[in-house]
Amino acid sequence: MHIKHLVYLLIIISLVSCEQKQKKYHTDKDIYNYGAKNDSSVFYFNKGWEHILDYGQWTLSEKAFRKAVAFDSTFIIGQALVGKNTTDLKERIEILNDLNNSQIKVREDDQLILEVTMITLELFNARGQNVKLDKDFLSNFLSTAEKNYRTFIHKYPNESYIKAEYIEVLNAIYGPELALDSLHILTTPKQKRIPFFISYAATLESDLGNFKKALAIADQFNDQINDPNIPQPYVLYGSIYLKMDSLSLATPSLDKALELDPNHIFAQRFKKQLQTKLNTNISND
């Protein structure tokens, strides 16, 4: 058996084992508060994830994470997520310094999330300052994220947005085929109806070149959102059309997404890719 296929098989076996454990322990008591001291902080923390992952509302997401911290100034993971979402490099550097110097004790399960987020801040800050990181930084980061998120979702299978982050990490490491299988295996029936998991399935299908299926899922996603003022359906369609080289269809979708939320990082990236392709086409004419 080819080593790549063996690794794939071992990971799928591990995921099935994880899914079986989730069924066994899937109870309301697994809901996690991430170290926040009051319900308002937890509410806005989850709202922050919902805005950014389900609806592509990056601006509203940052505001929600800031509200979570406003209700609890000792909410360390909330502070870290503010740092991850802010576009202010100086603020992000200060937040990472504060987190590194914090004397607040963090529980073991909180530390799993905090460690990954702090490495993310280090990565963002290095990019913002044009600082070259160690050649193994990214691979070590992804390895840590995979390990920490896997441990966390085994214990708290109801925590949808950390599970979403985990599947994104699997995609970054192993590619869209395994990530798509993981999405189908790991999500609970309730989670399968969450907008992120629907839209990300479309993204992964398009990465695999299954454009007809990706667009069908995108239509399902758009019907579920049913709101022309939500950016994410436009981003999803735009990204799929971009991969299809249907640039005339990608352009209005991405333009509309950025009109609704100029801070949408992925829409910005897709727009740059689109412009590069358009410029290349002009040069070749």
pLDDT at 89 over 60: yes
Higher pLDDT, residue 200 or 281: 200
pLDDT tier for residue 265 given thresholds of 50, 70 and 90: very high
DSSP 131: P
pLDDT at 4 over 60: no
pLDDT at 24 over 70: no
For residue 110, give the H/E element and its range: helix 108-128
- Mean pLDDT across the stretch 92-116? 95
pLDDT at 1 over 80: no
Residue 7 confidence (pLDDT): 53
pLDDT in tens, 106-115: 999 999 999 9
Q: Which domains does the chain have, with CATH numbers?
A: 194-285 (1.25.40.10)
C-alpha distances in Å from residue 41, one per residue of 115, 172, 213: 20, 30, 39
pLDDT at 209 over 70: yes
Higher pLDDT, residue 29 or 188: 188
pLDDT at 178 over 80: yes
3-state DSSP helix/strand/coil % of the chain, to nearest 5: 80, 0, 20
Tokens of 213: 């299926």
For the chain, the average pLDDT equals 91
